[in-house]
Chain A
Amino acid sequence: METVTLTVKQVPDLYLECENVNPDAFAGKTAEQIAKMGAYQGKEISTLGEFFTIAGNAGATAADTKIVINGDCTKMKYIGAKMTAGEVVVNSACDMYTGSWMKGGKLTVNGDVHSFCALAMAGGEFTINGNAGNYLGAAYRGDWRGMSGGVLRVKGNAGSDVASFMTGGTMIIDGDVDIHLGTHMEGGKIILKGNANRRVGGQLVKGEIYVFGKINVMMPGYKPSGEVDLEVDGTKATFIDYTGDLGERHPKRKGATVYGHLFMKK
């Protein structure tokens, strides 16, 4: 695997749209060619070379390409967005859309990410070694398909509207989340190690949410249906199984109604 190292040499005045910073776009290019790739700042198109010092050439394919980014990326959007293979490591906090629409490969952010990250993520591994903002792993506005595959891990806390319209994949959050976790969820698995504020699993159709901590206020449409012993992300414990959201529509399978499940650790 070839490694391209990007070092921020100039922080943009406005926000820089780094749609080209991912293994798929870099594949088969030399450092000079990468430096000439475009990046938007508002309506002005400039080049990656203006903002980054670029060292090393990319591999022949995305899978053979690793990108390491050093320096202050807090004003950079779309890093690792739409990547399908390869690896990206960002040693900084990042702005919006980091890892959104990601389909494969490995993305690691050693810092915080802003809102709208991992939107509609479909595959791959995304690790955030910091906090995440709002709409993590949610759907794009108006879309009914949020995160649908892959594994997303957050070491810190996440904001509100996390995993809205999630349809598949696994999301593990070590810290706490704000309101509206898994709203409109239609599948997939959320493991929350910390506490949730309110409105967990509102309008949830299908899918599983595991909560290790507390929820401030439970949604009225959830009903306890017994206790189960489970092993969740390496932890064995007893969970109370709630079915819901009983206010929402639910599909039928083989004559039986399919409900979503909210497991609260005892």
Chain B
Amino acid sequence: MPKDVTDVICPFCGTLCDDVVVTVSDDNKTILSVKNACAIGAEKFNHQRLPGRVKRPRMRQPDGTYKEVSYDEAIDWTAKMLVKSRKTLMYGWASTSCQAMSIGHEIAEKVGGIVDNCATVCHGSSLIAIEDVGVPSCTLGEVKNRADRVIFWGCNPAHAHPRHMSRYSIFPRGFFTVKGHKGRKIYCVDCRYTDTAKCADTFIQVQQGFDYELLDAFRTAARGEALPDTVGGVPKEKIYEVVEELKGGRFGIIFFGMGLTHTMGRNHNIDEAICLTRDMNDFTKFVIMAMRGHWNVTGSGQVLGWQYGFPYAVDLSRRDQARHQTGETTSVDLLNRNEVEACFYIATDPGAHFPINAMISSSKKPTVTIDPHINCTTEISDVHIPVAMVGVEVGGCAYRMDNVPIETRKVVEPPEGMLTDEEVLTKINNRVDELLAKGGA
């Protein structure tokens, strides 16, 4: 009889919904249906039973085709590549568990790698701003139970985090927010009228690339200083009006996304938004939160931050010290400048997201990809090591976008003989030890 597994953690986006119900077959091998998850989350579970999944490592042959090899062979090739290369990019980590990351970092320390995660093309700019000015934040539970002024600035959860608005930010009734949506004032600042903007009480259309100026104008208005007639296409009367409304709330939050992190000025936009948040605390409680996208990218920042003090782009090439410089030790810059000799990708698909020149540079280097599925990156790799899907076929710790760690659940068995990220990385780590003991590759 098929059975329901309840309280499953969705392994797709940074919202990490924890109320998913998955029906699995009798033999614990196939997912039959998924309840409560949104369309993109459900699709991730559905991938588990797609036909044509690669079940054993593949190695590229001189003629360009792939040949199936054993796990041991693939692991040996990977360890040799890592030991030989003078500088290796070890990128990804966002769809794996924190336990796997810590083993990966151990390898990086031994082989002098550079560990980077997908914040590098996503919320990395937010992390720079946090390094510069700190961040007053909170958990999503506090948002649900307390927030009565909610600002979505340059983000569109209606599409990117579909259940965010119903679980936390707009609709839910919480302890102090018993009226739900009616008790909250929702603002959306964007250069386009998005589906999130449709749910907002006030939509502020900012001219593209003028977020920094508009945020500065909000701060200037909050201090009661004079403003020019319009800032970024927004009339000053509107700015003063919104600032007064925000001051009048009990608990305000700014959620921000790629509209701030990847428009002109990048980290400076976040920096200014954080400073606005700080200023608003002179009047009421105010916090700010990044809409982290890729599932456990927050966890990668947490583990790296805890181990080395930097949340991404950590250069361990000196082995005994960690260095970090966005623009130098970040993946795209390393690839564009040809500063690395080999690439090791895990649990993220740079091929689908990096600029084309970076991937052309990457394709010319020895490359290993560890990923459950065939993706753009596996196709330019010399070795592809398939693994069990974290959060579906194996558990592990992941961090939600508000930095809350959640232990994820195994729902079904992985295909027979398939190793997990942790197992593969442990074997690579052991093989690296053996090679280093022998004096090299």
Contact = CB atoms under 8 A, between A and B. Distances in A.
A96 B131 CA distance: 21
Interface in B256-285: 264-265, 268, 271-272, 275
Interface in A109-131: 115-116
Contacts of A142: 131-132
A125 B413 CA distance: 66
Contact of A246 (B213, B223, B272, B317): B223
Given A43-B111, A96-B328, A141-B131, A183 B268 contact: yes
B350 interface: no
Nearest to B210: A217
Given A14-B341, A15-B339, A43 B213 contact: no
Contacts of B231: 220
A202 B216 contact: yes
Nearest to A15: B339
Contact of B226 (A40, A135, A180, A223): A223
Interface of B is mostly: loop
B112 interface: yes
B268 A180 contact: yes
Nearest to B313: A141
B345 to A, nearest CB: 18
B87 A221 contact: no
Interface residues of B, number: 41
Contacts of B341: 13-14, 42
Contact of B317 (A42, A96, A144, A179): A42
Contacts, number: 100
A184 B272 CA distance: 10
Nearest to B227: A220
Interface string B214-251: 00111110110111100100000000000000000000
Interface of A: 13-15, 40-44, 96, 115-116, 134-135, 140-142, 144, 165, 179-180, 183-184, 198-199, 202-203, 217, 219-221, 223, 245-248
11 contacts: A13-B341, A14-B87, A42-B86, A42-B112, A142-B131, A199-B265, A202-B268, A219-B216, A221-B216, A245-B220, A247-B218
Interface of B: 85-87, 111-112, 128, 131-132, 212-213, 216-220, 222-223, 225-228, 231, 264-265, 268, 271-272, 275, 317-319, 324-328, 337-341
